[in-house]
Structure 1
Amino acid sequence: MPHNDEPPVTLRIFGKQSRFLREQREMTRRELAGLIPYSESLIAMVERGERPPKPGYVDAVDQALGANGVLRVLIPDVAEKHHPAWAEEYVNLQAEALALHVYSTHFLHGLLQTEDYARAVFRSRRPSLDDDEIEKVVQARLLTQELLTRKPPCRITFVLEEPVIMRKIGGQRVWEGELRNLLQLGELHNVQIQIMPLSRQNHAGADGPMTLLETRDHHTVGYVEGQQGSYFLTDPDDVSVLSHRYGTIRSQAHDAEASRAFIQRLLTGEARE
């Protein structure tokens, strides 16, 4: 069943209120952007409830629109959280998961990212995040990695498309550090990492990345992320399809030992880059 991707009510209320005040003054978003140190695109996202405004933004808009504190009073209700609202439910489920199975096609899953790699990923985002925002989300991501060594342990498998580990996110030094991190994590008894080689011409992952998560009450759910949100699959028929597909993907990828050897060859320069 689809995950509800609606922005939080508080953000929608703030967005509608700030838009109402702007339009009452017959002011366009571009004109408002000319009065405050924030872009027209950011104003649009905030007004749609898609982006939590920072206190500085709220202060600037409140003053520019002559709102006399009507917007400022909402600051505690719209304060930015560590994770986007649409990801909160998944983060909570992942922290308590009994098992997690991940197929990655673009970037390494957050559980596998070093701090430098995570920072480079967030710096790549568009619209851009400022330095304070990046540090918040990086530290939040690192906190999720407690799952890797949690007791009782979570059973975790990853299948990574070869380009995921070939792409040098953050540059050579960050990339090499990430490869060493993968080798280290692969030694954990509850973690298995496999590489899907580019040489395989056909495989079951054509529909893109996915995650299968076993909850603490032994239900398995599917999770799929997109550009602007995500959704859960909880219908048994849908979960069965994803489970079969993931099993096939694992069987088509290099096994854990061969995958580890490939990563080691990348580090020594013996593998093709």
Structure 2
Amino acid sequence: MAVRGDTRTDDPAGSDEAADLFRAIGRMIKAARERNGLSQRELGQRVGYGEEQISSIERGRRTPQPDFLKAVDDLLGCGGLLALLAEDVERVKARRRVRHPEWFRDYAALEAEAVEICFYSTLTVPGLLQTERYARTIFTARRPLLDEETIEQRVAARLDRQQILNRWPPPSVAAVIEESVLRRTIGGQQVQREQVEHLAELSRLRHVDIQVLPLDCEGHAGMEGPFILLTPKGRPQMGYGEFQSVNRLITDPDEVRMLAARYGSIRGQALSPSHSYALVEKLLGAG
């Protein structure tokens, strides 16, 4: 049984109960996995998760979804014990508060109901596609400095957004990422490698298309900077952009049409999804 989906467990409100529960579940999963002679990668492959996701769950840093608990319970022969904990997990999730910065909340609400999301990224991997350690590096490096509690809250909120990639039906996601983003060692070589591996995993999902804009592209339609196009369910397409401390939700039809045309040109200038995947695999092989 393949299942996908998890959320960040660090309780932004500082719930000791949540932390204790998720650490206990993580230890149980690790013990059962090792008893069955499986690596984290092997377990992840059997239940539709990445190796990093399994590692995070076993360390108590992510909340396993009920479907995940039931699948692991069946796979590892836990006799229904993990499945019984699903109700406790749902109770804790219902109480958990995830905090986005106030200026980002309107976009986050629209993204949560989107049927299509298109990213053009020039400096970092889009937040919806980031690993936990990559996201934490970005928030830690921000200036002025953020305090540790705020960093953890924002990492939690960013990972929580990623639930939409696992819902059914999922949104259609397209991302054009500049090659320099894949080569820049944000957080160090290991963090960057994990991030690129995660992109490779996401590329294999039917509803996710990742394209790379190569370094040798002499000129392209995205020279004015990164942006996002999204289409909320039952609503017109709109755009979103951030620059330094300025953010803007774009709803004017003419401006949105211009962004959509620009995005079409960028996609046409980028490598195809299959050639982009080959480049990602090449970068991983060279690491």
TM-score, normalised relative to structure 1: 0.68
Match of 1:251 in 2: 268
Q: Give the C-alpha shift of residue 234 in structure 1.
A: 1.1
Match of 1:44 in 2: none
Conserved 8 A contact 2:119-2:176: yes
Structure 1 position 192 matched with structure 2 position 209: yes
- How many residue pairs get matched? 191
Conserved 8 A contact 2:98-2:156: no
Distance 1:229 1:87 in 2: 11
Distance 1:139 1:112 in 2: 14
Match of 2:176 in 1: 159
Structure 1 position 123 matched with structure 2 position 110: no
Within 5 Å, give how 1:19-38 maps onto structure 2: none
Structure 1 position 261 matched with structure 2 position 248: no
Conserved 8 A contact 1:221-1:232: yes
Conserved 8 A contact 1:100-1:212: yes
Distance 2:164 2:264 in 1: 22
Residue 179 of structure 1 aligns with an amino acid whose one-letter code is: V
Q: Give the C-alpha shift of residue 226 in structure 1.
A: 1.6
Q: Give the C-alpha shift of residue 81 in structure 1.
A: 7.1
Residue 231 of structure 1 aligns with an amino acid whose one-letter code is: R
2:222 alignment partner, one of 186, 205, 210: 205
Match of 2:232 in 1: 215
Distance 2:220 2:194 in 1: 29
Distance 1:235 1:162 in 2: 31
CA RMSD of aligned residues (A): 1.3
Within 5 Å, give how 1:1-273 maps onto structure 2: 82-269=99-286
What's the secondary structure of 1:98's corresponding residue? strand
TM-score, normalised relative to structure 2: 0.65
CA shift digits 1:184-213 (9 cap, x unpaired): 001111000000001010100011101111
Conserved 8 A contact 1:86-1:229: no
CA shift digits 1:44-92 (9 cap, x unpaired): xxxxxxxxxxxxxxxxxxxxxxxxxxxxxxxxxxxx9711111000000
Residue 218 of structure 2 aligns with an amino acid whose one-letter code is: Q
Conserved 8 A contact 2:119-2:228: yes
Conserved 8 A contact 2:98-2:157: no
What's the secondary structure of 2:145's corresponding residue? coil
Distance 1:211 1:131 in 2: 28
Q: Give the C-alpha shift of residue 176 in structure 1.
A: 0.8
CA shift digits 1:202-239 (9 cap, x unpaired): 10001110111101113100111121131111111111
Residue 150 of structure 2 aligns with an amino acid whose one-letter code is: E
Residue 154 of structure 2 aligns with an amino acid whose one-letter code is: V
The runs of 5 or more residues in structure 1 that have no matched partner are: 1-79
Conserved 8 A contact 2:176-2:270: yes
Distance 2:167 2:122 in 1: 26
Distance 1:218 1:250 in 2: 23
The runs of 5 or more residues in structure 2 that have no matched partner are: 1-96
Distance 2:246 2:109 in 1: 16
CA shift digits 1:138-188 (9 cap, x unpaired): 011000001111112100000001111111111011011111100000111
Q: Percent identity at matched positions?
A: 43
